[in-house]
Chain A
Amino acid sequence: EEQLVESGGGLIQPGGSLRLSCVVSGFTVSKNYMNWVRQAPGKGLEWVSILYSGGSTYYADSVRGRFTISRDNSKNTVFLQMNSLRAEDTAVYYCARVPGSPFYYGLDVWGQGTTVTVS
């Protein structure tokens, strides 16, 4: 079974840092396109970042320069390093997979989410 399990969320003061982890089972991280998507309390979904299978990374304007997506192939895990956190970064952060061409296939497998509160 394909599964994503996020962890690393918590309460952090403005200006602080957190590293989120997404442990993957059932498929290989390095052969897929891995994303982070967040949802602020009572709000809609916001795409945060994508890590291509080839290693390219892209970020939403709201987090570029502060967040870094990466992966550890040996652990089949994706990370989101979040620095200089702001109150507006408060959200549930989901890890999600695109199984192929990023813009043809949608996000077909999602984790349960991890909550980040910046206050």
Chain B
Amino acid sequence: QSVLTQPPSVSGAPGQRVIISCTGTSANIGADCDVHWYKQLPGTAPKLLIYGTRNRPSGVPDRFSGSKSGTSASLAITGLQAEDEADYYCQSCDSSQSGHWVFGGGTKLNVV
């Protein structure tokens, strides 16, 4: 069982907006730890989508945005496209153990 909780799957139609949640505790997201988000296509390495809770690396479309409130974080995807169908993971620090990171269990985004 992952330290950060994500819904197993979310679905949306092309053009719609979806939100993927990531729920943590006072030991990670709630401890003022930044949240990062990754996209993973089958058989490939993850790709960084959002870092520092709300920042996009160069090349990531502004359709992707991140936010955080209390012990939860969210990844919002607007203007859903077929190529957005993938697994998405959140990541944060574990303030109870120096140097440690934790991941969410992952969310499968289905574009229907």
**Minimal beta-carbon separation of A92 from chain B (angstroms):** 9
Cα A60 to Cα B46 with chains together (Å): 19
- A113 / chain B contacts, CB cutoff of 8 Å: 45
When the two chains form their complex, are residues B100 and A107 in contact, meaning their CB atoms are under 8 A apart?
Answer: no
Q: A50-B99, A102-B99 are in contact. Are A107 and B36 (CB under 8 A)?
A: yes
Interface residues on A, range: 20 to 34
CB nearest to A48 among chain B residues: B101
- Complex alpha-carbon distance, A50 and B93, angstroms: 12
Within 8 A of A (CB), among B73-100: 87, 89, 91, 93, 97-100
Query: How far is the CB of A2 from the nearest CB of chain B, in Å?
Result: 12
CA distance A94 to B40 in the complex (A): 13
Tell me the B26-44 residues at the A interface (CB within 8 Å). 33-34, 36-38, 40
Give the distance in Å from the alpha carbon of A46 to the alpha carbon of B102 in the complex: 7
If A37-B46, A45-B89, A47-B102 are given as contacts, then 11 extra A-B residue pairs at C-beta distance below 8 Å, sorted by A number, are A44-B103, A44-B105, A45-B40, A46-B103, A56-B99, A58-B98, A96-B45, A102-B99, A106-B51, A107-B46, A108-B57
The 10 closest A-B pairs by CB, nearest first: A58-B99, A106-B36, A106-B51, A110-B45, A44-B106, A47-B101, A103-B93, A45-B103, A44-B105, A106-B48
- What are 16 pairs between A and B in contact, CB < 8 Å? A37-B103, A44-B2, A44-B106, A45-B46, A47-B102, A52-B99, A61-B97, A103-B33, A104-B51, A105-B51, A106-B50, A106-B52, A107-B46, A107-B48, A107-B91, A108-B51
| Interfacial residues, chain B to chain A (CB-CB below 8 A) | 2, 33-34, 36-38, 40, 45-48, 50-52, 57, 87, 89, 91, 93, 97-106
**Chain A interfacial positions (CB closer than 8 Å to B):** 35, 37, 44-47, 50, 52, 56-58, 60-61, 94, 96, 102-108, 110-113
